[in-house]
Amino acid sequence: MNASPSQPHPAEWTETQDLLPSVERDLPAGRHQFHKEHMMAQIHEDLRGSRTPAPQRQRNPFLRRAILVPAAAFAVAGAVVAGLALSGGDGDGGRTAVATGPALTTQIGAVDTKGAPQLLDRISLAAADTSGPTAHDGQYIYIASKVASTHSRTVGDKTTIVSKELHSRQVWMSTDGKDGWLIEAGEEDITLAGPTPLTGAYDSLVKLPTDPDVLLKQIYKESDAVRDPEVPRDQAAFVAIGDLLNESFPPADVAVALYKAAAKIPGVVAVDDAVDALGRHGVAIARQNDTDGQRTEWIFDKKTLQLLGDRTVQVEAEKDGEFKPGTVLFTSAITQRAVVDANKQVPGKAS
């Protein structure tokens, strides 16, 4: 990440403990995850021709961000992105401390308002040539990433902008979406087991339509049914697609359809330079939420066009907003995706 001279790169920070107790403002617990899970569960349930009662759609804590509530509210909420320890879930229950630091900042990449279709076409071709592993019944999709975020913190009557420093996250999800595991720093490890399939499950992904128009129409339909009115429908659709690409392991034909569907969303642009959570530079496909001046970027390697990660950047000053242009509200870097044979099994190691 192109941090400003006064701000060290997240990977260079040393972990420190908070010197004073703090109170971080947050929305009601589970509100973000409920709205997002509600939309994406509806998409997959519609495709299967069945419906699950709405209350059961709250059981997807691994999804990182809210897309159906205002982005400003997401940012103020602070710890939307949970830090995950790479150590196993035994012993301390995964309660590895995540240090805080100064606000994350970056140089804002220049936008090409007409370049997105051509770039997405190239990305689609690269995705079509990528042969991902085929997952079978009884196996698990494993996703590891590095993430960091910026939020406001209030101590007494003083509010400051701080970051939750770069840390790891691990998620395991069974192919049917009914079992899995989440290791989250600062919290007890979480089982993802339950009767309702999790969003992004492999079995659901392989059933998604590969016609981009059909796929996008379905995403819009379900998004419109549950999104917060302050979140533009085009932005909600764009972020939903991005999260399926980043937090799942879609087959090549589905990934191609998702990229082609994104090219049809108004306001999608190309960005000449963006940096993931590990400091890797790439090009980006992005869309700005004009409501809050924040831009969501999907970052790709400039040569291979492999998806590196994503981030959300404050690009315009918001009226009465707390975050200055150049603030990175969220950043991620995908470090590994694999198919493993057991829950909590790390690739290359026996369970």
Angstrom CA distances, 265 to 8, 98, 151, stand at: 35, 36, 29
Count Cβ atoms within 10 A of the Cβ of residue 215 and give its class: 0-12 exposed, 13-18 middle, 19 or more buried.
buried
Residue 351: its pLDDT value, please?
Answer: 55
- Band the pLDDT of 184: cuts 50, 70, 90: low
Quick count: other Cβ atoms within 10 Å of Cβ 258? 26
Tokens of 241: 């697609």
Q: What is the pLDDT of residues 201-242, one digit of tens each?
A: 999 899 999 999 999 998 898 777 777 788 899 999 998 899
Helix (H) or strand (E) holding 338: strand 328-340
The two tokens of residue 90 are: 């035994």
180: left (phi over 0), alpha (psi -120 to 50) or beta: left
- Domain boundaries, given as residue ranges, for the chain: 10-340
For the chain, first and last CA: distance in Å? Answer: 35
How far, in Å, CA of 275 to CA of 10, rounded?
Answer: 12
Closest CA relative to residue 147, chosen from 82, 101, 208: 82
pLDDT band at 127 (very low <50, low <70, confident <90, very high): very high
- pLDDT at position 202 is 93
pTM over 0.85, yes/no: no
Q: Give CA–CA dist 97/184, Å, rounded.
A: 10
Strands (E), 126-266: 140-155, 158-174, 180-183, 190-191
- pLDDT-derived band of residue 70, with 50, 70 and 90 as boundaries? very low
Contact 313, 297 (CB under 8 A): yes
Are 245 and 260 in contact by the 8 Å Cβ rule? The answer is no
The per-residue pLDDT of the chain, averaged, comes to 76
Residue 141 confidence (pLDDT) above 60:
yes
Biggest CA pair distance of the chain: 55
